């Protein structure tokens, strides 16, 4: 059995006395009674000071005449706030939205800027246009994630020879001619500056295409062979140029040094009483040849060996076999010598410039032998040894005498033919009497 509520609380005051101020149960039905009761129960923190209750009404209800409230629409008053079919309708809308999102995800999406260009070019976009209303209505899509790129793909794509050219988003429009039809025709005839056609950006290469482009960059076997042959020709050309430089320039320097050394040694032996006329060994110097018109002073050595005599810048005396000729001191005979016309000192390079009567002097240890140029044979075969005979044919000499013959190669820089210069002795002068007038003047 449930115990009845006690008639009084712990304070000992009956409930009827405690709640007597609230009036009878039906007292709140009177106008303004409920507001007065609530105003009586206001929060002490917000309760106005004594005497200001009318100025600062309770925050819950305000005493005084009630403010007019807007009347709801009659149809809204009749409609009940609770909608029993609302849950089912909301569920159907949610299902439709999910289906639309799935269809959008299944449809192929256009490639984004990052997929097309990646890191090749900076993205240049126009300022965004904000549409608050339309933005709220659009369904939310999943953010696009760029697939990871490995090092091999990056290397293959960067090796492509093509370049992605991004069209400028802010290209200025070409200027149009103003005026009528005649002005436009005149501008067209003059040739208005044409706007360069914008090139569409090339799509990025796949891995297979990048490998093909890399293989295409490698040179073919024919290109490698032609390149090797070209390099070989260049090397051979450089070597030939160096050889020509050596032959035309360095050999002259070296031969002149050796000839000057041989002349100094010869004069030193003469000063010491050595080098008497007689038989000489091959390559041994025994005299000096002077050609004043050409300013030539060159040692004369025994023999015509190239390495021992001619290539050392000296002239050689014919003294072997069928080409043996007498020495200058012989009472009769043709003293014949040979020398280079080009390279290795080239002592006989300009003998073609000698004229009849020009002196040619042979100096020995005890005498000077002075000859005068008589005639010249511009060209003959190398096998024609009669030009150094006792009475050379074509020289103009008719009987034996004391002659001199100078032989050299011709044309220049070749050895196909021989050039011959002949001279006749006009004076034999001892060294004790001094130099002949041909060397003094």
- Enumerate the active-site residues: 340, 409, 418
From residue 382, alpha-carbon distances to 338, 396, 408 in Å are 12, 20, 10
165 phi-psi bin (left φ>0, alpha ψ -120 to 50, beta other) = beta
The dihedral over CA atoms of 61, 66, 68, 70, expressed in degrees to the nearest 10, equals: 40
Query: Cβ(100)–Cβ(139) under 8 Å?
Result: yes
What is the distance between the alpha carbons of residues 395 and 379, in angstroms, rounded to a whole number?
13
* CA angle (424 as vertex; 286, 303 as ends), nearest 5: 30
Scan for tokens 């003094």, then name that residue: 440
Rounded Cα gap, residues 13 and 198, in angstroms: 99
Closest CA to 359 of 427, 438, 286, 246: 438
Structure tokens at 260: 């000057």
DSSP assignment of 232-267? HHHHHHHHHHHHHHIIIIIHHHHHHHHHHHHHHHHH
**Short-list 112, 110, 102, 108, CA closest to 141:** 102
């Amino acid at each position: 059995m449930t115990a009845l509520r006690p008639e009084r609380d712990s304070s000992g005051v009956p409930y009827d006395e405690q709640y007597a101020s609230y009036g009878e149960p039906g007292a709140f039905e009177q106008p303004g009674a409920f507001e007065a009761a609530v105003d009586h129960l206001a929060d002490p923190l917000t309760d106005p000071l004594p005497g200001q209750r009318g100025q600062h009404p309770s925050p819950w209800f305000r005493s005084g005449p009630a403010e007019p409230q807007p009347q709801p629409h009659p149809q809204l008053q009749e409609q009940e706030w609770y909608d029993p079919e609302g849950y089912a309708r909301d569920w159907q809308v949610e299902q439709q939205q999910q289906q639309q999102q799935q269809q959008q995800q299944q449809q192929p999406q256009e490639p984004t800027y990052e997929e097309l260009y990646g890191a090749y070019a900076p993205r240049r976009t126009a300022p965004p246009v904000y549409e608050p209303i339309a933005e709220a209505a659009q369904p939310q899509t999943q953010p696009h994630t760029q697939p990871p790129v490995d090092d091999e793909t990056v290397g293959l794509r960067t090796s492509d020879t093509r370049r992605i050219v991004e069209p400028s988003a802010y290209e200025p429009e070409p200027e149009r001619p103003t005026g009528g039809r005649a002005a436009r025709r005149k501008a067209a005839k003059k040739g208005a500056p044409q706007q360069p056609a914008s090139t569409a950006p090339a799509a990025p290469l796949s891995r297979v295409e990048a490998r093909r482009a890399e293989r295409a960059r490698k040179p073919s076997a024919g290109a490698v062979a032609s390149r090797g042959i070209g390099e070989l020709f260049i090397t051979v050309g450089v070597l030939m140029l160096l050889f020509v430089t050596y032959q035309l320039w360095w050999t002259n320097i070296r031969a002149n040094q050796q000839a000057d050394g041989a002349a100094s040694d010869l004069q030193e032996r003469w000063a010491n009483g050595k080098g008497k006329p007689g038989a000489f060994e091959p390559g041994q110097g025994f005299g000096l040849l002077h050609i004043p018109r050409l300013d030539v002073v060159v040692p004369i050595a025994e023999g015509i060996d190239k390495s021992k005599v001619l290539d050392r810048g000296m002239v050689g005396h014919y003294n072997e076999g069928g080409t043996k000729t007498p020495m200058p001191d012989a009472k009769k005979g043709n003293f014949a010598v040979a020398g280079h016309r080009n390279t290795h000192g080239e002592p006989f390079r300009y003998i073609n410039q000698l004229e009849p009567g020009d002196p040619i002097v042979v100096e020995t240890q005890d005498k000077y032998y002075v000859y005068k140029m008589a005639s010249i044979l511009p060209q003959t075969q190398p096998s024609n040894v009669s030009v150094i005979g006792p009475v050379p044919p074509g020289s103009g000499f008719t009987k034996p005498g004391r002659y001199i013959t100078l032989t050299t190669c011709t044309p220049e820089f070749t050895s196909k033919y021989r050039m011959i210069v002949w001279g006749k002795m006009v004076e034999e002068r001892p060294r004790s009497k001094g130099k002949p007038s041909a060397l003094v003047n």
